[in-house]
Amino acid sequence: MPANTYGYIRVSTREQNEDRQRIALREAGVPEKNVCMDKQSGKDFNRPQYKRMLRKLKKDDLLYIKSIDRLGRNYEEILRQWRFLTKEKGVDIVVLDMPLLDTRRGKDLMGTFLSDIVLQVLSFVAENERSNIRQRQAEGIAAAKARGVRFGRPPLPMPENFYGVHQAWRAKKITLEQAASACNMPVGTFYGKARRFEKTE
C-alpha cells in the first residue's frame, strides 16, 4: 500500500486559532481528512486526537507539523515520542518551520546525528520557554501581592454567633461538628477560622 501523509495541529486553548498551522499543512500537501488536531496543553501526550493519529500511522507514512512546540512542550517527552515515531513505527517527520528536521533527508549516520542535535536543542528551547512563562507568572503574582492585590474570593464575614459558639466549643460544651453546624460552615472552615482567631487573641 502507498504511504499516507498526515498532519498534526495543536493549540493550547480553545480560544487560540489554528488557521496558521492548517494553512501550512495544506500548502505542504496534507489531505484535510488526514489532519488531526488537539486543543489542549502540550505538557504531555495524553491527547485524544494525537493517540488516534498514532493508531493510524504505519511504516513509511509521513507526518508534518508546523513547529516542534506543536508536538509538545516537555523536553523528554518530545524526544521519546520522536524516537518512537521514527525508530519504532518507521514514520518520517517534517517540521515545516525547521527544514533541518526532515527525517526523509540525511538517512546516513551524519544526517541522523545532525537531526538529533537540532531536535534536542529545539526541544530544550520549547521547554525552557514554558518554564520561563511559569516563572514570569509567579513573579507577576508575587509583585501584585506585594502591591496589596488580593487573589481568589474574598473571605466570608464571620457569622454573628461565631465567638459564642467558639467559646462553647473550647469549653467542650459542644463538639467540633456541632460548632461548625451552628455557624453553617464545613468543619474544616470552622476549625481554620477558630485557629486564626485564637492566634490574634
Q: Tens digits of per-residue pLDDT, 142-196?
A: 788 787 777 666 666 788 888 899 999 989 999 999 999 999 888 888 898 888 8
pLDDT of 26 above 90: yes
Q: Return the sign of the alpha-carbon dihedral for residues 156, 157, 163, 164.
A: negative
Statement: residue 128 has pLDDT above 80: no
State the catalytic residue, choosing from 12, 41, 67, 181.
Answer: 12
pLDDT, greater one: 68 or 54: 54
In this predicted structure, the answer to whether residue 84 has a pLDDT above a threshold of 70 is yes
DSSP letter, residue 41: -
Q: In whole angstroms, what is the distance from residue 21 CA to residue 11 CA? A: 9
All cell numbers assigned to 21: 498551522
- Give the pLDDT band of residue 109 (cuts 50, 70, 90): low
Q: What is the pLDDT of residue 108?
A: 58
Q: Is the model's pLDDT at 62 over the cut of 90?
A: yes
Using the predicted structure, report yes or no on whether residue 98 has a pLDDT greater than 70.
yes
* Mean pLDDT for the stretch of residues 120-128: 70
Across 38-55, average pLDDT: 88
Residue 41 is a catalytic residue: no
What is the C-alpha R_g of the chain? Answer: 27
In this structure, are residues 193 and 162 in contact, taking their beta carbons and an 8 Å threshold? Answer: yes
